[in-house]
Amino acid sequence: MSLSVKHLLGIKELQTEDIHTIFRTADNFKQVLQRQIKKVPALRDTTVANVFFENSTRTRISFELAQKRLSADVVNFSASGSSVSKGETLIDTVNNILAMKVDMVVMRHSASGAPWFLANHIDASIINAGDGINEHPTQALLDAFSMREKLGNLKGKRIAIIGDIMHSRVALSNIYCLGKLGAEVMVAGPPTLIPKHIEGLGVRVEHDVKKALQWCEVANVLRIQLERQHKPLFSTLREYALYYGVNKQMLDSLQKEILIMHPGPINRGVEINSDVADSKQSIILDQVENGVAIRMAVIYLLSGKTGLGE
């Protein structure tokens, strides 16, 4: 049992079987996390560096907990307050970290493709924790894992991704991941926030959020990534909330119970209302819980590839 890849750069490169292997392993780790002693000694001999060039709360804590639950040694690095501000290049920074005998690198970077670039230049296994507007593979895995937990096999299930599709790495990774698992995917949001020709990835496009909700069994609602929008793409947040925000009234009018997901951080009252985010239908906190098990599975499976002990 092992993955077909040495790094987890994007879902795009994964085989469907890899995703199932990760899920099966995560099932086991989820069991470990429910015990009194939530820790196994599997990676005692592994050191992992979390290299974050962009802000993060959930992903970073989740990765760090996953590493600690596996008994790996962890070093954390964030760009602010580091030598990056003195002009050091990405390769130099990472090579310096690796020189201190680190086996694996978890990286978040604002430039799309940065992990691929790094993978070409260093030997250690790399896990992409989000690169620009490209991919966020572990988020997509934990999203699909959470859906699988509630719905079983995802083949033929209808999933709507709603919000800022254009600037969301979560959206792209989700589209790849759900596609490989055989689910039907729809993206919904204002035309300015949906990339042209996205149908080429095999997804439906809808601009009416209500219609998208009527169609789907699961709605994954995404945050408006204001920090990545360099020109105005809609007039005001209030207008966005009015036309594209998901509220309780909408959900109640559906005559069915759909699952509500959100990768966080939530902007309450913009893309999603509090009464929806905190409702029974919401599995937002299940997603966060599953994130640790999924990341344990990914790190564990990739650690077999780092060539330690050979």
Residues binding another protein (CB under 8 A): 1-2, 24-25, 28, 31-32, 35-37, 39-43, 45-46, 70, 300-301, 303-304, 306-310
- Which of residues 39 and 238 has its CB atom nearest to another protein in the complex? 39
**Element (DSSP H or E) covering residue 23:** helix 16-33
Q: Report the distance separating Cα 119 and Cα 140, nearest Å.
A: 21
Q: Give the nearest distance from C-beta 37 to another protein in angstroms.
A: 4
- Which of residues 25 and 168 has its CB atom nearest to another protein in the complex? 25
- Which of residues 36 and 85 has its CB atom nearest to another protein in the complex? 36
| Torsion angles phi and psi, residue 113, rounded to 5 | 95, -5
Q: Give the nearest distance from C-beta 12 to another protein in angstroms.
A: 23
**Element (DSSP H or E) covering residue 27:** helix 16-33
Q: Give the nearest distance from C-beta 2 to another protein in angstroms.
A: 5
- Which of residues 41 and 81 has its CB atom nearest to another protein in the complex? 41
Q: Report the distance separating Cα 131 and Cα 134, nearest Å.
A: 6
| Torsion angles phi and psi, residue 45, rounded to 5 | -100, 15
Q: Give the nearest distance from C-beta 309 to another protein in angstroms.
A: 4
- Which of residues 29 and 52 has its CB atom nearest to another protein in the complex? 29
Q: Give the nearest distance from C-beta 126 to another protein in angstroms.
A: 18
Q: In what order do the strands lie in the sheet with 73-78?
A: 73-78, 47-52, 104-109, 125-131
235 burial (CB, 10 Å; 0-12 / 13-18 / 19+) is exposed
